[in-house]
Each structure stands twice: as structure tokens, then as C-alpha cells.
């Protein structure tokens, strides 16, 4: 089984193909225990492009005067965060989280309400472990999908 995940990056739309692997032990993984919960956006991140300053590399990809791409590296040169305003409406909506430069999670605001609606958990930088979703946009997780379990 293959999943197609859209990854929105600096060079435009890039399609990545993820093979589904069994869920591995991780501190960052989807859980059915999270139904009814909400994970807030990481304290170092913001939906507001103007808040990405010191330490961040920023870009205005469509030359409208508003930052729509920001990336942050740690002191060892590893990517830590990547943030994108994919729909170019002035609000960041795609958030990528890395551990030592390897993608571990993606969070999306799918309806521009400045709340995360989809959390995708990734292992080894490419394998979708599962996801949590607020499908009715009420601020609470109501869908959890774990790959690798009995389906």
C-alpha cells in the first residue's frame, strides 16, 4: 500500500511517496488516547509570518512583501523547523518538525482558522506512522489512524 502525501516546499509542490511501515516506538506518535484532545502549535512557531525573525531564514516566494517560507537550523546545521504559507493568504499553515535534520512530523491548518487540524507522524523521515485529525474543525481530535496495526 502506498500513500501519497503532498509536501509543500520552497521549490513548489513536491510529491513524496511514503510506504506504510509498522508503527515504531516514539515519543511523537498518534494515539487513540488523544481523541477529544487538542495539541497546540509548538511555542517557537506562529501562524503570523512577521514573527519569524532572528535565527530564521525567511523568503517571500511570491514577492508580495509577506514572508511565506521560513526555516530554522540548529547550531550543528540540522533543520529543526520548516514553516510555509502554502495558500499565500498571509497566514502560515504548514509546519514541519525535524529531529537531527530528519522529518518526524507535519502539522497542517487546513481551513485557515489558525488552529492545527491534521498531525502526520513520520518515521525515518519518509514513512507515515499515522495521523490525528480534527475533521469537523471544532478544535478536538476526532480521527486517529495508525498504520502497521491490524487494519
pLDDT tens-digit profile of 117-143?
999 999 999 999 999 999 999 989 999
State the total domains in the chain.
1
Please give the average per-residue pLDDT across 34-41, as a whole number.
72
- Establish if 121 belongs to a structural domain: yes
Largest CA distance in the chain: 49
Reading phi first (left if > 0) and then psi (alpha if -120 to 50, else beta), residue 113 is in alpha
145 pLDDT above the threshold of 90: yes
pLDDT at 113 over 80: yes
Record the cell numbers describing residue 120, joined without a space.
Answer: 502526520
Q: What confidence score (pLDDT) does residue 13 get? A: 27
**CA neighbor of 47 nearest in space, from 103, 98, 7, 90:** 90
Four-residue CA torsion sign, 49, 50, 55, 61: positive
Higher-pLDDT residue of 31 and 123 is 123
Q: Given this model, what pLDDT does residue 125 score?
A: 95
Identify whether 32 is part of a domain.
no
pLDDT of residue 32: 72
Residue 81 structural domain: 2-22+40-146
Question: In the prediction, which pLDDT does 149 show?
Answer: 61
pLDDT band, residue 40 (cuts 50/70/90)? confident
**Mean pLDDT, the chain, integer:** 80
Question: Residue with C-alpha cell 512557531?
Answer: 45
Higher pLDDT, 132 or 9: 132
**Residue 85 or 19, more confident:** 85
Query: Is 72 inside a domain boundary?
Result: yes
Report yes or no on 12 lying in a domain: yes
Would you state the pLDDT for residue 41? 86
Residue 68 lies in a domain: yes
Rounded Cα–Cα distance for residues 104 and 98 (Å): 5
Residue 75 lies in a domain: yes
Amino acid at each position: 500500500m502506498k500513500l501519497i502525501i503532498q509536501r509543500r516546499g520552497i521549490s513548489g509542490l513536491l510529491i513524496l511517496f511514503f510506504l506504510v511501515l509498522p508503527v515504531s516506538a516514539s515519543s511523537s506518535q498518534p494515539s487513540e488516547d488523544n481523541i477529544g484532545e487538542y495539541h497546540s502549535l509548538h511555542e517557537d512557531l506562529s501562524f503570523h509570518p512577521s514573527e519569524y525573525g532572528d535565527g530564521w531564514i525567511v523568503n517571500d516566494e511570491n514577492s508580495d512583501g509577506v514572508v511565506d517560507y521560513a526555516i530554522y537550523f540548529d547550531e550543528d546545521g540540522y533543520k529543526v523547523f520548516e514553516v510555509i504559507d502554502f495558500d499565500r493568504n498571509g497566514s502560515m499553515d504548514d509546519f514541519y518538525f525535524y529531529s537531527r535534520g530528519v522529518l518526524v512530523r507535519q502539522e497542517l491548518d487546513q481551513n485557515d482558522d489558525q488552529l492545527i487540524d491534521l498531525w502526520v507522524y513520520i518515521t525515518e523521515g519518509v514513512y507515515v506512522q499515522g495521523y490525528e485529525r480534527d475533521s469537523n474543525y471544532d478544535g478536538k481530535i476526532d480521527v486517529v489512524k495508525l498504520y502497521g496495526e491490524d487494519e
